[in-house]
């Protein structure tokens, strides 16, 4: 006798490592910082993302700055977050020396990572006050809010952003402040180049 069985689809429910039952630990934030943005959905779910705070996102930006420092670069990182979902849509760090790239700062790196999206629905977290070029790009692309993690080592463009209608919040991260201060002491020429170009370095050190 032939017995037929009805085939039932096999449903696999995958639980992300970071979810509503997971605490926001330094290890969790480090994992988010180092995982490619496109893969973050397999690391954390919506519930975990909704529980992240401004301080958490800023710390991720600082961890990206640390990544750049460890690579021999300028320690500046940035994270772009969707205002509604709290999901990270872009992140990056300065690659002046790593990629021999004269203007790929933390902010522009994060924007490249995010791609062609509506930035008016996002917040950008940057570990250091943006330079004039980055600040101009931020308001030209319509960011609604920018959170700055360090105005101790650099400042000045916050007023420019506010004049253009961008909400600017200062949320200094002491780890990021100490990291950039150490870098500036260790590599003053690289710091100057990142802000003002090689011509400024040559003028300053050939006086």
- Catalytic positions are 107
Cβ atoms 24, 52 nearer than 8 A = yes
Question: Among candidates 137, 136, 93, 144, which has minimal Cα distance to 118?
Answer: 144
CB-facing half-sphere around the CA of 59: CA atoms within 13 A: 14
């Amino acid at each position: 006798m032939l017995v037929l069985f009805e085939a039932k689809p096999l449903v696999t429910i995958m639980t992300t490592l970071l979810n509503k039952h997971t605490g926001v630990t330094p290890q969790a934030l480090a994992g988010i910082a180092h995982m490619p943005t496109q893969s973050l959905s397999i690391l954390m779910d919506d519930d975990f993302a909704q529980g992240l705070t401004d301080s958490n996102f800023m710390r991720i930006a600082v961890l990206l700055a640390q990544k750049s420092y460890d690579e021999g670069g300028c320690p500046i990182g940035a994270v772009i977050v969707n205002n509604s979902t709290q999901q990270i849509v872009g992140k990056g760090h300065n690659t002046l020396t790593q990629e021999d790239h004269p203007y790929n700062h933390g902010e522009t790196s994060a924007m490249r990572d995010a791609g062609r999206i509506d930035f008016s629905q996002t917040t950008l977290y940057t570990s250091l006050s943006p330079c004039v070029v980055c600040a101009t790009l931020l308001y030209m692309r319509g960011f609604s809010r920018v959170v700055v993690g360090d105005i101790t080592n650099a400042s000045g463009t916050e007023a420019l952003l506010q004049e253009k209608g961008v909400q600017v919040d200062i949320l200094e991260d002491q780890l990021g402040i100490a990291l950039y201060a150490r870098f500036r002491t260790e590599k003053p020429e690289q710091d100057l180049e990142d802000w003002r170009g090689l011509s400024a370095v040559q003028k300053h050190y050939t006086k």
